[in-house]
Chains A and B, each alone.
Chain A
Amino acid sequence: MFYREAGQYKTSYAADQATFPILQDRIGIGIILFVAAVIIPLFGNDFLLQAVMTPFLVFALATIGLNLLTGYTGLLSLGTGAFMGVGAYACYKLTTIFPDVNIIVWIVCSGFFSAAVGVLFGLPSLRIKGFYLAVATLAAQFFLSWCFIRVPWLYNYNVSGAIEVPQRSLFGIPVTGPNSAPVTRYLIVLTIVVVMTWLASNLIRGRIGRMWMAVRDMDIAAELIGIRLLNTKLLAFAVSSFYCGVAGAMMVFLWYGGAEADVFSINQSFTILFMVIIGGLGSLVGSFFGAALIYILPIILRFVPAELGVPLNAATVEHLTFIIVGALIIVFLIVEPHGLARLWQIAKQKLRVWPFPY
Chain B
Amino acid sequence: MDVLHHIFVDPFVQMAQAPDLLVQTLWEGLVGGILYALIALGFVLIFKASGVFNFAQGIMVVFAALTLVGLHEKGVPAYLALALTILVMFGLAFSVERLMLRPLVNQPDIILFMATFGLTYFLIGLGELIFGGEPKVMIASELGLPKGSIDLNMLGGFISLQKIDIAATIIASVMVVSLAVFFQKTRIGRALRAVADSHKAALSVGISLEQIWVIVWFTAGIVALATGIMWGARSEVSFALQIIALKALPVLILGGFTSIPGAIVGGLIIGIGEKLGEFYWGPLLGSGIESWLAYFIALLFLLFRPQGLFGERIIERI
Contacts and interface: CB of A to CB of B under 8 A. Distances in A.
Are A and B physically bound partners? Answer: yes
Interface of A: 76, 124, 127-132, 135-136, 138-139, 142-143, 145-146, 150, 218, 220-221, 224, 266, 270, 273-274, 277-278, 281, 315-316, 318-330, 333-334, 337
Main secondary structure of the interface of B (DSSP, over half): helix
A302 B90 CA distance: 32
A328 B114 CA distance: 12
A274 B129 CA distance: 23
A274 B117 contact: yes
Contacts of B292: 139, 142-143, 145-146
A130 B306 CA distance: 11
B238 to A, nearest CB: 15
B125 interface: yes
B118 A323 contact: no
A136 B286 CA distance: 24
B257 A321 contact: no
20 contacts: A124-B299, A128-B302, A131-B257, A135-B249, A145-B291, A220-B318, A277-B114, A319-B125, A319-B129, A323-B125, A323-B126, A324-B125, A326-B118, A326-B123, A329-B114, A329-B118, A330-B99, A333-B115, A333-B118, A337-B104
Given A76-B110, A325-B121, A327-B118, A218 B318 contact: yes
Contacts of A266: 246
B161 interface: no
A132 B306 contact: yes
Given A138-B295, A142-B292, A281-B110, A132 B115 contact: no
A132 B121 contact: no
Contact of A135 (B103, B118, B285, B298): B298
A277 B318 CA distance: 27
B196 interface: no
Contacts of A322: 121-122, 124-126, 128
A132 B291 contact: no
A328 B115 CA distance: 10
B121 to A, nearest CB: 3
Nearest to B287: A150
B117 A270 contact: yes
A136 B295 contact: yes
Contacts of B32: none
Interface in B285-318: 285-286, 288-289, 291-292, 295-296, 298-299, 302-303, 306-308, 316, 318
Contacts of A138: 246, 249-250, 295
A145 B290 CA distance: 12
Contacts of A315: 128, 133
B119 interface: yes
B41 to A, nearest CB: 16
Contacts of B318: 218, 220-221, 224
Given A326-B121, A327-B122, A337-B111, 6 more contacts: A124-B299, A146-B288, A318-B128, A323-B122, A329-B121, A333-B115
Nearest to A219: B316
B118 A330 contact: yes
Contacts of B316: 220
Interface in B69-116: 99-100, 103-104, 107-111, 113-115
Contact of B114 (A128, A132, A274): A274
Nearest to A224: B318
B291 A146 contact: yes
A232 B253 CA distance: 24
Contact of B125 (A129, A270, A281, A320): A320
Interface in B230-256: 246, 249-250, 252-253
Given A143-B292, A150-B288, A330 B302 contact: no
Nearest to B307: A132
B269 to A, nearest CB: 15
A15 B291 CA distance: 53
Interface centre among A139, A143, A145, A324 (most CB of B within 10 A): A139
Contacts of A145: 291-292
A337 B118 contact: no
B66 to A, nearest CB: 13
Interface in B189-214: none
